[in-house]
């Protein structure tokens, strides 16, 4: 009885992988660092080239008739809004004797409530003296307008009470007349109505006295409110500190530039869809990551002589040599975004294979541009020929092809470099769609991929870049997976996963 195991369904891929997004943004730190630096310089330049205009400030104590201890600041905010009106601006300009439009003048000042009863007015001008004069004129105009509104409100309230009193007096006169007419009649029936009229007269007289008292009290609090509204801090010029202003503007520019740079980097990473993690690159290419190496800088290769860098190169060369050793087919290194690094790896691998008594190794240069063929040869370096002269290489010599799978590659020429290949891919260089294209084209050409060498990986990447030949869900605990069998019932040997070479130290440089 044959038991077949079906692969467990894999979890759906998330719409947005936060780990990949964070890694992609961190890899583009040069972009957002440059934008943050530009914001810092721009803020400092604005403070120097466009210094703040001379300004003055004045504080006004405002007394309100409806002041309450628990007022949340509504009244003082109303006063600040009233300050931004053409009426007050026009009166201030009239006191200054200026022909400026109130609408234009309103853009040069602003009011802010410091407490429930303290209003601060900030005014700018062409000079300190003009700013101080403007601040005084505005404060005087506001105080005069506030006092006028208090008096008008008190007069209106008193007038309302007096109008009610006069109306009640007219009613009282009518009641008194009715009482006089009733007193001339001796009819007993009118006694009840006379008592009702006396009650109405008493009530009207009480209400008339009440309204008279209210009218008198309406203006009692006005002098207190008028005296309480005054300028408590005389207008004075605000001293501007250029270093402080430059530091403030530079800090704001730094924050804005950093935020903008992070946003651009994040949006660019999402739109470009360039895999940076090992698991993503391995999944898109359909091949395991067998080794990692920091990228070769554009400077002289002499910097590769550092001890840690030489150790990393040695481990990488040994890993590749184990992968291609003993193969009767020609092997090629195909790069994507790291032509210089691939050429250096090819020379190291050719030297390693030649030192193992496998015979001379010839490097076939199929890279776009003079990467290998026109280099300055050193004693002991392997022979390098261009791709067009590969046919002249003797059959007894081992060939190691070096090519590219970048956009514009002639896919049919890749088999002339090697029938098996190792992909050398720079992390974050190719999009997911292009990695799929590379894997599909290599499969169409019948070129199996031995593995992937990841260049310039993320130092904090802890994802697995190994593909398993079997169900994606690995067995848990000590329960072993049953051996797989072919159609004849014989046990089939499974390919063991290739382990990824250790990542060099974070401070390692490929230079």
pLDDT for the residue numbered 163: 85
Residues with Cβ within 8 Å of 27's Cβ and at least 6 positions away in sequence, in order, are: 276, 427, 428, 458
End-to-end CA distance of the chain: 59
**Residue 60: Cβ within 10 Å count:** 23
pLDDT for the residue numbered 510: 37
How does pLDDT run across 136-172, given as a tens digit for each residue? 999 999 999 999 988 888 888 888 888 888 888 888 8
Q: What is the DSSP string of 256-311?
A: HHHHHHHHHHHHHHHHHT---SHHHHHHHHTS-EEEEEPPPPSS-GGGGGSHHHHH
Cα separation, 92 vs 215, whole angstroms: 34
pLDDT tens digits, the chain, 511 residues: what are they? 444 444 444 555 566 678 888 888 888 888 999 999 999 999 999 988 888 889 999 999 998 887 777 778 889 999 999 999 999 999 999 999 989 999 999 999 999 999 889 999 999 998 999 999 999 999 999 999 999 988 888 888 888 888 888 888 888 888 888 777 767 666 666 666 777 877 888 888 888 888 888 877 776 667 878 888 899 999 999 888 888 888 999 999 999 999 999 999 999 888 888 888 888 899 889 888 888 887 555 554 444 446 767 787 888 888 888 877 766 778 889 999 888 888 888 888 888 887 765 667 888 888 877 566 566 666 667 777 776 565 566 666 778 889 999 988 888 888 888 889 999 999 888 888 999 999 999 999 999 998 899 988 888 888 877 766 433 333 333 333 334 444 434 443 444 444 444 444 433 333 3
pTM (2 d.p.): 0.58
Cα separation, 258 vs 266, whole angstroms: 12
Do the Cβ atoms of 121 and 83 come closer than 8 Å?
yes
Q: What is the DSSP string of 416-439?
A: GT-SEEEEEEETTTS-HHHHHHHH
* Locus of tokens 């101080």: 132
* Locus of tokens 């400030």: 57
* Locus of tokens 């290489």: 393
Cα separation, 57 vs 110, whole angstroms: 10
CA 434 to mean position of chain CA atoms? 29
What are the chain's domains? 18-50+243-271 (no CATH), 55-239 (3.30.1890), 275-455 (3.40.50.300)
pLDDT for the residue numbered 357: 58
Token digits of residue 211: 């309204």
Q: Reduce the DSSP state of residue 150 to 3 states and report it.
A: helix
Cα separation, 449 vs 430, whole angstroms: 17
């Amino acid at each position: 009885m044959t038991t077949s195991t079906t692969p467990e369904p894999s979890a759906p891929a998330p719409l947005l992988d936060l780990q990949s997004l964070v890694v992609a943004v961190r890899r583009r730190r040069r972009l957002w660092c440059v934008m943050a630096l530009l914001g810092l310089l721009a803020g400092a330049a604005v403070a120097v080239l466009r210094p703040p205009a001379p300004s003055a400030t004045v504080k006004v104590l405002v007394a309100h008739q409806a002041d309450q201890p628990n007022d949340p600041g509504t009244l003082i905010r109303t006063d600040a809004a009233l300050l931004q009106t053409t009426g007050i601006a026009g009166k201030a300009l009239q006191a200054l004797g200026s022909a400026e439009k109130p609408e234009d003048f309103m853009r040069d000042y602003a009011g802010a409530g410091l407490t429930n009863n303290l209003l601060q007015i900030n005014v700018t001008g062409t000079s300190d003296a003009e700013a101080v004069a403007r601040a005084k004129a505005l404060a005087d105009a506001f105080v005069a307008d506030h006092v006028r509104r208090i008096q008008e409100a008190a007069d209106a309230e008193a007038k309302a009470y007096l109008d009610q009193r006069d109306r009640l007096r007219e009613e009282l006169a009518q009641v008194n007349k009715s009482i006089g007419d009733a007193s001339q009649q001796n009819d007993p029936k009118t006694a009840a109505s006379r008592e009702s009229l006396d009650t109405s007269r008493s009530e009207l007289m009480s209400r008339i006295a009440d309204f008279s008292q209210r009218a008198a009290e309406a203006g009692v609090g006005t002098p207190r409110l008028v005296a309480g509204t005054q300028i408590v801090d005389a207008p004075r010029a605000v001293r501007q500190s250029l270093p402080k202003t430059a530091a403030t503007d530079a800090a704001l520019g730094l924050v804005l530039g950093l935020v903008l740079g992070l946003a651009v980097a994040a949006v660019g990473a999402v739109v470009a869809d360039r895999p940076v993690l090992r698991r993503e690159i391995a999944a898109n290419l359909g091949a395991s990551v067998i080794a990692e190496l920091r990228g070769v800088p554009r400077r002289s290769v002499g910097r590769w002589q550092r001890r840690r860098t030489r150790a990393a190169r040695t481990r990488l060369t040994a890993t590749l040599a184990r992968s291609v050793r003993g193969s009767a087919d020609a092997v090629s290194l195909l790069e994507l975004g790291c032509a210089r690094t691939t050429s250096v790896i090819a020379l190291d691998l050719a030297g390693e294979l030649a030192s193992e008594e496998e015979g001379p190794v010839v490097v076939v240069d199929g890279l776009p541009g003079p990467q290998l063929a026109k280099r300055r040869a050193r004693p002991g370096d392997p022979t390098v020929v261009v791709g067009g002269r590969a046919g002249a290489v003797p059959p007894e010599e081992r060939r190691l092809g070096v090519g590219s799978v970048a956009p514009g590659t002639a896919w049919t020429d890749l088999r002339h470099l090697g029938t098996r290949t190792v992909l050398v891919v720079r992390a974050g260089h190719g999009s997911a769609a292009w990695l799929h294209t590379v894997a599909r084209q290599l499969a169409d050409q019948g070129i199996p991929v031995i593995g992937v060498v990841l260049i310039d990986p993320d130092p904090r990447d802890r994802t697995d870049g190994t593909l398993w030949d079997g169900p994606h869900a690995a067995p848990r605990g000590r329960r072993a997976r049953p051996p797989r069998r072919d159609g004849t019932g014989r046990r089939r040997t499974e390919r063991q996963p290739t382990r990824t070479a250790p990542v060099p130290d974070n401070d390692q440089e490929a230079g």
